[in-house]
């Protein structure tokens, strides 16, 4: 039986002042999901009030929104998107709410998040969760991951560059589209000098590769990750281990690519084999190798290859940060500082 969508009542200006005020009402028919929609102690509604500058009153299955006209319209759309997400069986944590709020300023919100009552047109399914776009740029990125051979993802931390790429790779591994998943990054310290690390080769390089493990465990049950690593279906290794190989039938991800040299990047890209896909992620402004951006293989490769058939470049900005909102503010503060 099809569920009814939330009903929106016509907005009516409550009074005329410098900032036009408005009121809107929504009615939800699925009483069983109201608790998840509103959040514990109405935490989701409080989050909307704080972020969008409105007042929200919930009584039964009706929600009334008051505030500036534009903010009321955005809040209404966000609540409808949150409601639709729950109907589709997806979680609604504070991060998801924040992402929907951020996307509410984009013209794509209605078509991608609510999709006229249907499932979103862009999504990635893994064993543990279904990933939907959390920013307009992620929509572009997910489409490129599904259609292009080589994808460069550029931008600051917290925009989902690596996480979404790992999710797409896991999805293709599960469905059999590729036979192997290869995750790599340069073993370069971010300003520290770690010195000698004890243990075998795996123990020496694991600290550099931990973010890739974290993304994998978020997309697959731990026992499956370990089993596939043991069988060779999933390989996690420094970029130096790629030399001399041809990576066929594989989904290959290079993380922190801004810390590759130009020679390393050329070597990595030329490992591309039949029925493969490569994703190169990095932030050109966070280079930790000697010589800085001028010597970075990422900036050099994008300059040479952008526009080549089969190669896509997705650029994220501070507005696409999908971690805690303070991360976006931190990035903006650092980028806005004086030299």
Six-digit token pair at 194? 């770690």
**pLDDT of res. 325:** 65
**pLDDT of res. 80:** 87
pLDDT at 257 over 80: yes
Q: How confident is the model at residue 199 (pLDDT cuts 50, 70, 90)?
A: low
User: For 8-24, how does the pLDDT look when each residue is reduced to its tens digit (9 = 90+)?
Assistant: 444 444 444 445 788 88
**pLDDT of res. 117:** 43
Return the CATH number of 7-121, one of 3.30.390.50, 3.30.1370.10, 3.40.50.740, 1.20.59.10.
Answer: 3.30.1370.10
Q: Which residues contact 229 (CB under 8 A, 6 or more apart)?
A: 235, 236
d(CA 260, CA 281): 11
pLDDT at 107 over 50: no
Calculate the alpha carbon distances from 316 to 68, 132, 139, 231, 336 in Å.
Answer: 30, 16, 11, 35, 17
Average pLDDT, the chain: 79
Q: What is the mean pLDDT of residues 218-235?
A: 89
**pLDDT of res. 10:** 43
Q: What is the mean pLDDT of residues 220-231?
A: 89
Q: Which residues contact 255 (CB under 8 A, 6 or more apart)?
A: 162, 183, 184, 185, 211, 212, 281, 282
pLDDT at 219 over 90: no
Q: What is the mean pLDDT of residues 224-228?
A: 90
**Pair 295, 258: CB distance under 8 Å:** no
**pLDDT of res. 288:** 82
Buried b (16+ CB within 10 A) or exposed e, 226-261: eebbeeebbbbbbbeebeeeebeebbbbbbbbbbbb
Calculate the alpha carbon distances from 26 to 11, 59, 83 in Å.
Answer: 10, 11, 11
pLDDT at 316 over 80: yes
Q: Which residues contact 236 (CB under 8 A, 6 or more apart)?
A: 182, 183, 184, 209, 212, 213, 229
User: For 136-148, how does the pLDDT look when each residue is reduced to its tens digit (9 = 90+)?
Assistant: 788 889 999 988 9
Which three-class secondary structure state does DSSP give residue 226? helix
**Domain extent listing, the chain:** 7-121, 130-335
Q: What is the mean pLDDT of residues 192-200?
A: 52
Q: How confident is the model at residue 119 (pLDDT cuts 50, 70, 90)?
A: very low
Q: Which of 3-12, 114-123, 168-177 has the highest mean pLDDT?
A: 168-177
Q: Which of 63-67, 118-122, 331-335 has the highest mean pLDDT?
A: 63-67
CA atoms within 13 Å, Cβ hemisphere of 90: 25
**pLDDT of res. 190:** 45
Q: 130-335: what fold?
A: Rossmann fold (3.40.50)
**Total Cβ atoms within 10 A of residue 188:** 17
Pairing between strand 277-282 and 150-154? parallel
CA atoms within 13 Å, Cβ hemisphere of 285: 12
- Tell me the β-bridge partners of 12: 23
Nearest 5 degrees, angle CA 110-CA 116-CA 118? 115
**pLDDT of res. 15:** 47
Q: What is the mean pLDDT of residues 184-213?
A: 63
């Amino acid at each position: 039986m099809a569920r009814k969508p939330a009903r929106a009542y016509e907005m009516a200006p409550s009074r005329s002042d410098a900032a036009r005020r408005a009121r809107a009402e929504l009615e939800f028919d699925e009483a069983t999901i109201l608790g998840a929609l509103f959040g514990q102690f109405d935490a989701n509604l409080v989050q909307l009030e704080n972020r969008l500058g409105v007042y929200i009153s919930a009584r039964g299955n009706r929600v009334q929104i008051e505030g500036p006209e534009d903010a009321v319209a955005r809040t209404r759309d966000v609540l409808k998107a949150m409601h639709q997400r729950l109907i589709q069986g997806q979680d609604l944590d504070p991060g998801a709410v924040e992402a929907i709020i951020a996307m509410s300023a984009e013209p794509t919100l209605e078509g991608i998040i609510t999709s006229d009552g249907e499932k979103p047109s862009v999504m990635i399914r893994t064993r543990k969760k279904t990933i939907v776009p959390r920013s307009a740029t992620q929509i572009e990125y997910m489409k490129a991951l599904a259609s292009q051979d080589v994808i460069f993802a550029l931008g600051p931390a917290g925009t989902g560059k690596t996480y979404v790429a790992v999710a797409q790779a896991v999805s293709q591994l599960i469905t059999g589209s590729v036979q192997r998943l290869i995750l790599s990054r340069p073993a370069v310290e971010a300003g520290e000098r770690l010195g000698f690390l004890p243990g075998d080769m795996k123990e020496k390089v694991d600290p550099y590769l931990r973010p890739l493990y974290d993304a994998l465990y978020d997309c697959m049950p731990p026992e499956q990750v370990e089993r596939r690593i043991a069988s060779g279906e999933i390989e996690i290794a420094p970029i130096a281990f790629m030399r001399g190989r041809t990576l066929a039938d594989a989904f290959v991800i290079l993380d922190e690519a801004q810390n590759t040299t130009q020679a390393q990047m050329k070597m990595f890209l030329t490992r591309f084999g039949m029925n493969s896909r490569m994703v190169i992620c990095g932030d050109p402004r966070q280079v930790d190798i000697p010589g800085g951006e001028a010597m970075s293989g990422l900036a050099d490769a994008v300059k040479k290859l952008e526009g080549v058939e089969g190669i896509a470049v997705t650029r994220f900005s501070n507005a696409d940060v999908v971690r805690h909102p303070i991360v976006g503010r931190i990035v903006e503060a650092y980028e806005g500082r004086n030299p």
